[in-house]
Chains A and B, each alone.
Chain A
Amino acid sequence: MIQPRNRGIAQSRPWSRRAWLRVAGLGSLTGGVAAAQGAVGGQVAPALATMPDHRGSAMGPVGRVSTDSFDPTRFLRAWNFSDLPSDERARVYRETPRADGTMLREYELFAVDRDIEIAPGVFFQAWTYNGQVPGPTIRATAGDHLRINFTNQGSHPHTLHFHGWHEPAMDGSLPAHQVLPGESFLYEFDADPFGVHLYHCHANPLKRHVHKGLYGAFIIDPPATSARPPADELVMVLNAFDTNFDAENEVYAANTVASFYVQEPIRVQVGQLVRMYVVNLTEFDLINSMHLHGMFFDVFRTGTSMTASESTDTIMLCQGERAILETTFRYPGDFMFHAHQSEFAELGWMGLFRAEAPSAG
């Protein structure tokens, strides 16, 4: 219905992953780090000059994705539509304090079909919540009451299926729960338990509805009396895209855009606690993972405990599994993070943290 702007990729003609890689211009890792660092420092790394044959194998894609409709950097630190100007935010989110100190949080979520750019020049005919993949991050405090008015403006039946405690009528999973195109449904439940959760469409066929982009992160903070320590908080949804409908993914990412954080490293401060809310929503592949270079992090599985269960540098997550990761950067500089399945990393699930020393002033 909507014509993809880049017709070369989304055709029915079978593409091997390698052929796809060539077209999309995704390169391998070697040389790319040097190139990235060289560019930052304003000088070309000497190794590159003597290895001209490797110059083309830059890390990440050639070119840039437009951030007009979705900016992965803003997405990292946005929840409850905090990335919108106040007048636009008021159209989709309201909070009302309640007598017992908790909050009533009201949301307007809608499903809509949209062409999104997942790698430079590669457009994916997505099904989205509120026009973006991942959908907007929903965040509440344990005990809050959530009211989510869901409108289906898409071309297929959809639902909202939240993880967490709720009544069966609010589950958005059975055939009777389907919200048909042009219809609405009001989901209502309390925020319970605290942790990092998710929401997604549960209409059939489930794998198609999930993989098309209908998912997002759902964070429930512990009650204020036992809040987590202050930190620089980041939302990372691990996802992937099947661009040729062969039930295999061709593009992988943290937060949709292949290798975005290679080109735009995530800025963090040395010595400041960094808290990552990581949710795996990759379809078709059994597992996904996240590996962070040069350090270890504490793992809070599902975020339902205040005590870390392990300290590691690589975490494995099946679909729907999630965790809070906490670390504090010791050294300034660039630190790679990526799936420890190398194939995923080379197909876009790769990024950099750029740690900066606190300014002396």
Chain B
Amino acid sequence: MRATERAGRRHGTRGAVAAVLVAAVGLLCVVLLLPLTASTTDSAREITLVIRNMAFYLEGGTEPNPTIRVRAGEEVRFTVLNRDPGFAHNFVVDAWDLETPFIETEASTTVVVRAPARPGRGEYVCTPHGKMMRGVIEVVGGD
């Protein structure tokens, strides 16, 4: 698998994306990343999205573009895996000021981001396919 940062192309500048780490999947990169993320992984919520047939799916899920729920203020680690041959996709949450680079087929991207402190609803999209690859991301009250 290839590193996605090289192939990725950013759409405009969206300012500082909070704590964004882009990584290739593979043992080498996991090893490289461990020291960087060790302080945050303990509590980070892992959400893996798999893209196939022009839709996002939760890993193992069957519902296209499902609603994603996270707790206010928690740290979330998104891994987005592109299983769509011949397409480059990305994952964008405007309300969170979050945008991944473009992810080539069979590549993945990981971003670690802190959810907004206040509950609310936003949308996640893939920029070039936003009419079909679009779902709700919900921030619920923390405890």
Are B131 and A182 in contact, CB atoms less than 8 angstroms apart?
A: yes
Interface check A131, CB cutoff 8 A:
yes
Are A153 and B86 in contact, CB atoms less than 8 angstroms apart?
A: no
Q: Closest approach, in angstroms, between the C-beta of A88 and any C-beta of chain B?
A: 7
Are B104 and A184 in contact, CB atoms less than 8 angstroms apart?
A: no
Are B53 and A153 in contact, CB atoms less than 8 angstroms apart?
A: no
Q: Which of B62, B64, B88, B129 contacts A2 (CB 8 A)?
A: B88
Are B7 and A153 in contact, CB atoms less than 8 angstroms apart?
A: no
Distance of A110 Cα from B54 Cα, bound (Å): 11
Proximity string of chain A (111-136) to chain B, C-beta cutoff 8 Å, 1 when within and 0 when not: 01111110000010000000100000
Q: From residue 93 to 143 of chain B, which have CB atoms closer than 8 A to chain A?
A: 104, 128-132
Are A66 and B131 in contact, CB atoms less than 8 angstroms apart?
A: no
Instruction: Closest B residue to A87 by CB, please name it.
Output: B62
Distance of A348 Cα from B133 Cα, bound (Å): 35
Q: Which of B9, B54, B64, B85 contacts A112 (CB 8 A)?
A: B54
Interface check A69, CB cutoff 8 A:
yes
Interface check A12, CB cutoff 8 A:
no
Are B128 and A153 in contact, CB atoms less than 8 angstroms apart?
A: yes
Contact of A153 with B85 at beta-carbon distance under 8 Å, contacts A3-B104, A131-B54 already known: no
Q: Closest approach, in angstroms, between the C-beta of B140 and any C-beta of chain A?
A: 28
Instruction: Closest A residue to B129 by CB, please name it.
Output: A153
Q: Closest approach, in angstroms, between the C-beta of A22 and any C-beta of chain B?
A: 25
Distance of A3 Cα from B87 Cα, bound (Å): 10
Contact of A151 with B7 at beta-carbon distance under 8 Å, contacts A1-B88, A69-B85 already known: no
**Majority-rule SS of B interface residues:** loop
Are B87 and A91 in contact, CB atoms less than 8 angstroms apart?
A: no
Distance of A68 Cα from B86 Cα, bound (Å): 11
- Which residues of A lie under 8 Å from residue B64 when comparing CB positions? 91
Interface check A155, CB cutoff 8 A:
yes
Q: Closest approach, in angstroms, between the C-beta of B64 and any C-beta of chain A?
A: 7
Are B7 and A112 in contact, CB atoms less than 8 angstroms apart?
A: no
Are A114 and B62 in contact, CB atoms less than 8 angstroms apart?
A: no
- Which residues of B lie under 8 Å from residue A110 when comparing CB positions? 54, 131-132
Interface size class of A (residues with CB under 8 A): 20 to 34
Are B53 and A112 in contact, CB atoms less than 8 angstroms apart?
A: no
**Majority-rule SS of A interface residues:** mixed
Distance of A69 Cα from B9 Cα, bound (Å): 24
Proximity string of chain A (1-20) to chain B, C-beta cutoff 8 Å, 1 when within and 0 when not: 11100000000000000000
- Which residues of A lie under 8 Å from residue B9 when comparing CB positions? 1
- Give the residue among B62, B86, B132 with the most A Cβ atoms within 10 A: B86
Are B131 and A69 in contact, CB atoms less than 8 angstroms apart?
A: no
Distance of A1 Cα from B9 Cα, bound (Å): 9
Q: Closest approach, in angstroms, between the C-beta of A102 and any C-beta of chain B?
A: 30
Are A69 and B86 in contact, CB atoms less than 8 angstroms apart?
A: yes
- Which residues of B lie under 8 Å from residue A112 when comparing CB positions? 54, 87, 129
- Which residues of B lie under 8 Å from residue A182 when comparing CB positions? 130-131
Contact of A66 with B85 at beta-carbon distance under 8 Å, contacts A88-B53, A112-B54 already known: yes
Q: Which of B86, B88, B131 contacts A116 (CB 8 A)?
A: B86
Are A155 and B128 in contact, CB atoms less than 8 angstroms apart?
A: yes
Q: From residue 22 to 78 of chain A, which have CB atoms closer than 8 A to chain B?
A: 66, 68-69
Q: Closest approach, in angstroms, between the C-beta of A292 and any C-beta of chain B?
A: 32
Distance of A94 Cα from B7 Cα, bound (Å): 39
Q: From residue 131 to 154 of chain A, which have CB atoms closer than 8 A to chain B?
A: 131, 151, 153
Distance of A66 Cα from B86 Cα, bound (Å): 11
Instruction: Closest B residue to A130 by CB, please name it.
Output: B54
Distance of A92 Cα from B9 Cα, bound (Å): 31
- Which residues of B lie under 8 Å from residue A116 when comparing CB positions? 86
Proximity string of chain B (41-74) to chain A, C-beta cutoff 8 Å, 1 when within and 0 when not: 0000000000001100000001010000000000
Q: Closest approach, in angstroms, between the C-beta of B31 and any C-beta of chain A?
A: 27
- Give the residue among A66, A112, A184 with the most B Cβ atoms within 10 A: A112
Distance of A1 Cα from B11 Cα, bound (Å): 12
Proximity string of chain B (20-43) to chain A, C-beta cutoff 8 Å, 1 when within and 0 when not: 000000000000000000000000
Q: Which residues of A contact B (CB under 8 A)?
A: 1-3, 66, 68-69, 87-88, 91, 110, 112-117, 123, 131, 151, 153, 155, 182, 184
19 inter-chain pairs at a CB distance below 8 angstroms, sorted by A residue, are A1-B9, A1-B88, A2-B87, A2-B104, A3-B7, A3-B104, A69-B86, A91-B64, A110-B54, A110-B132, A112-B129, A113-B128, A114-B87, A115-B87, A131-B53, A131-B54, A131-B86, A153-B128, A153-B129
